[in-house]
């Protein structure tokens, strides 16, 4: 198991899990969110290829109402 942090909360995922796999676990549409992995933005075209590693810090953001 890998221990990672997603949006400020600890989470465990299986070895070999990718960013795309994480979004699937969270039932998030990859077209509507942006993922930042250890402060680096992961392009949408790359989320299926980027494997998670122990200690990774992930931020998942989207557009909300704002001025």
Instruction: For residue 12, state whether it binds another protein (rule: CB under 8 A).
Output: no
3-state secondary structure of 47: coil
Considering only 24, 38, 41, 48, the residue that binds another protein (CB under 8 A) is 41
Q: Which C-beta is closer to another protein: that of 16 or that of 45?
A: 45
Instruction: For residue 26, state whether it binds another protein (rule: CB under 8 A).
Output: yes
User: For the stretch 21-60, what's the b/e string if a residue is b when 16 or more beta carbons lie within 10 angstroms of its beta carbon?
Assistant: bbbeeeeeebeebebebeeeebeeeebeebebeeebebbb
Summarize as ranges the residues that interact with another protein (CB under 8 A): 6-9, 26, 28-29, 32-34, 36, 39, 41, 43-44, 59-67
């Amino acid at each position: 198991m890998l221990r990672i942090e997603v949006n400020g909360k600890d989470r465990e995922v299986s070895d070999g899990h990718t960013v795309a796999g994480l979004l699937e676990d969270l039932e998030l549409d990859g077209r509507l969110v942006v993922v930042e992995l250890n402060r680096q933005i992961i392009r949408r075209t790359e989320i299926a290829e980027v494997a998670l590693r122990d200690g990774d810090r992930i931020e998942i953001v989207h557009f909300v109402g704002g001025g």
